[in-house]
């Protein structure tokens, strides 16, 4: 368990790292409360953004001035008009060696990265089956349904290798870090995946997660090309959501470019074209200037370790206090849990319920906010859609907070939820709530 004093010491290190990225550092003292931590971090982020804007005033979208490489912390950029040819030199967000990556294409968001990749695949792969795990990210599924008409999406109702699949054609797997833990683990146990490409959305995993390495090792054993897509807005900015930033990293280790149904070289080229034509290139101002150092990686690891510990404790608390009152407690990433309301709700109603929960706990001084993301230094509630059971739920994103304080928040949330719900009948299974 992390005490408040240990937590404040760690947060002071984070503040010093952020402050050290300023050309004109501010006076930073050790914070004395959680509220002070949150306020000071966002204040320093604002100062970093403002300083970048003032110092880089000539680095415009038309690239009319400063023909040499532009900088933001450890990152160097070169580009012509509208960043259509953006080239980035700098530290990788992943714990991968340079030799592991064929190319990393940065984009304006995680959705921009996966959109460009999926649409580029039409010119490389043609028509193909796209296998998805239950619970894959909703906007990705929506993108596939509406715009990736060359892909035939198939949600697996059994583990890969056991599911009965249609007649063989090009076959890709979208492996999503927000899938249920059991589905994710079952996929990596498959001994004969029969895939031509794996697209791995790593957004909810720490960039140094051992699970990313295990997935890469799994694809290498079976000689499958793999592309890592990611939103760097969530976990790679020390909880600040410094700017909208995404990437598609093409990992070496699959079959040679001349074998198989997917030419990685062609896919890289077509993805670059898609990013250019759809205007999805990254903004240099959105690269966090404090990223990449040993201190940054250590602090990021410690943050996410604290969040994962708090998440495990939350799952145990909800399982005990709510009996079968939780929707899903065990996602592969372990960064949030979901709660299913007593009656069917639409999106607006689920959003309102999430807002009421955070509002009532905030009133009694607990750090729980209504915010549509995760990875913060405060807990966050928001609506979500459970595609496996076709219902709207409430998501509670577990934060980086002292253990005892978050235990208090989790218990208060469980009590609030139990009081707000109608009488319930027995569960069909340990992870799913079924109400009368």
Q: Tell me, yes or no, whether 21 and 146 share the same domain.
A: no
Domain that holds residue 134: 70-286
Residue 201 has pLDDT above 90, yes or no: yes
Per residue in 307-324, pLDDT (tens digit) is 999 999 999 999 989 876
Band of residue 297 on the pLDDT scale cut at 50, 70, 90: very high
CATH of the domain at 111: 3.40.640.10
Residue 406 lies inside a defined structural domain of this protein:
yes
pLDDT score at 372: 87
Question: Largest Cα–Cα distance in the chain?
Answer: 68
**Is the entire prediction scored with pTM above 0.75?**
yes
Residue of 41, 48, 42 lying closest to 12 (CA atoms): 41
In this prediction, residues 379-398 reach a mean pLDDT of: 91
Residue 215 clears pLDDT 70, i.e. is over it = yes
In a domain, residue 359? The reply is yes
Does one domain contain both 304 and 271?
Answer: no
Please check whether residue 93 is in contact with residue 215, taking contact to mean a CB–CB distance below 8 angstroms.
no
Q: Does residue 62 fall inside a structural domain?
A: no
The CB-side HSE value for 267 (13 A sphere, CA atoms) comes to 30
Check whether residue 48 and residue 82 sit in a common domain. no
CB neighbours of residue 211 within 10 Å? 17
User: How many structural domains is the chain composed of?
Assistant: 3
Do residue 78 and residue 46 come from a single domain? no
**Judgement on whether residues 317 and 399 belong to the same structural domain of the protein:** yes
Residues 264 and 171 in one domain: yes
Q: Helices 347-363 and 403-420 sit at what angle, rounded to 10 degrees?
A: 130
Q: What is the pLDDT of residues 331-379, one digit of tens each?
A: 889 999 999 888 889 999 999 999 999 999 999 999 999 998 899 999 9
Are 244 and 332 members of one domain?
no
Please tell me whether residues 281 and 415 are part of one structural domain.
Answer: no
Is there a single domain that holds both residue 150 and residue 35?
A: no
CATH number, domain of 308, equals: 3.90.1150.10
Q: For residues 258 and 148, state if they share a domain.
A: yes
Residue 301 domain flag:
yes
Q: Are residues 255 and 126 in the same domain?
A: yes
Question: For the purposes of burial, counting CB atoms within 10 Å of the CB of 297, is it exposed (0-12), middle (13-18) or buried (19 or more)?
Answer: middle
Quick check: 386 and 377 in contact, CB under 8 A? no
* 135 shares its domain with 218: yes
């Amino acid at each position: 368990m992390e005490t408040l004093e240990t937590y404040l010491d760690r947060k002071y290190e984070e503040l010093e790292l952020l402050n050290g990225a300023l050309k004109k550092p501010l006076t930073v003292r050790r914070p004395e409360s959680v509220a002070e931590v949150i306020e000071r971090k966002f204040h320093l982020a604002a100062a970093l953004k403002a300083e970048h804007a003032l110092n880089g005033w000539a680095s415009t979208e038309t690239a009319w001035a400063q023909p040499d490489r532009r900088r933001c912390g450890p990152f160097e950029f070169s580009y012509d008009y509208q960043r259509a040819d953006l080239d980035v030199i700098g530290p990788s967000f992943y714990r991968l060696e340079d030799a592991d990556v064929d190319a990393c294409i940065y984009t304006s968001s995680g959705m921009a990265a996966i959109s460009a990749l999926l649409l580029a695949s039409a010119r490389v792969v043609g028509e193909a089956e796209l296998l998805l795990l239950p619970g894959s990210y909703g906007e990705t599924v929506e993108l596939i349904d509406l715009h990736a008409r060359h892909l035939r999406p198939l949600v697996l109702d059994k583990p890969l290798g056991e599911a009965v699949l249609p007649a063989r054609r090009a076959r890709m797997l979208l492996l999503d870090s927000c899938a249920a833990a059991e589905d994710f683990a079952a996929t990596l146990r498959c001994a004969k995946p029969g895939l031509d490409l794996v697209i791995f959305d790593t957004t909810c995993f720490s960039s140094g997660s051992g699970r990313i390495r295990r997935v890469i090792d799994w694809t290498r054993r079976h000689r499958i090309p793999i592309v890592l897509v990611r939103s760097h807005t969530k976990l790679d900015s020390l909880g600040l959501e410094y700017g909208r930033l995404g990437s598609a990293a093409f990992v070496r280790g699959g079959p040679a470019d001349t074998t198989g149904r997917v030419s990685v070289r062609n896919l890289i080229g077509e993805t670059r074209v898609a990013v250019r034509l759809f205007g999805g290139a990254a903004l240099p101002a959105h690269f966090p200037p404090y990223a990449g150092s040993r201190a940054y990686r250590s602090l990021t690891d410690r943050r996410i370790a604290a969040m994962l510990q708090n998440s495990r404790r939350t799952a145990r608390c909800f399982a005990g206090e709510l009996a079968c009152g939780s929707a899903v407690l065990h996602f592969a990433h372990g960064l949030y849990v979901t709660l299913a309301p007593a009656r069917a709700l639409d999106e607006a109603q689920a959003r309102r319920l999430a807002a009421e929960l955070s509002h009532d706990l905030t009133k009694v001084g607990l750090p729980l906010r209504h915010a549509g993301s995760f990875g913060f230094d405060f807990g966050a509630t928001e609506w979500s859609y459970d595609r496996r059971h076709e219902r709207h739920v409430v998501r509670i994103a577990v934060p980086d907070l002292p253990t005892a304080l978050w235990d208090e928040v989790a218990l208060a949330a469980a009590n609030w939820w139990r009081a707000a719900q109608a009488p319930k009948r027995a569960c069909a299974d340990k992870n799913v709530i079924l109400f009368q």
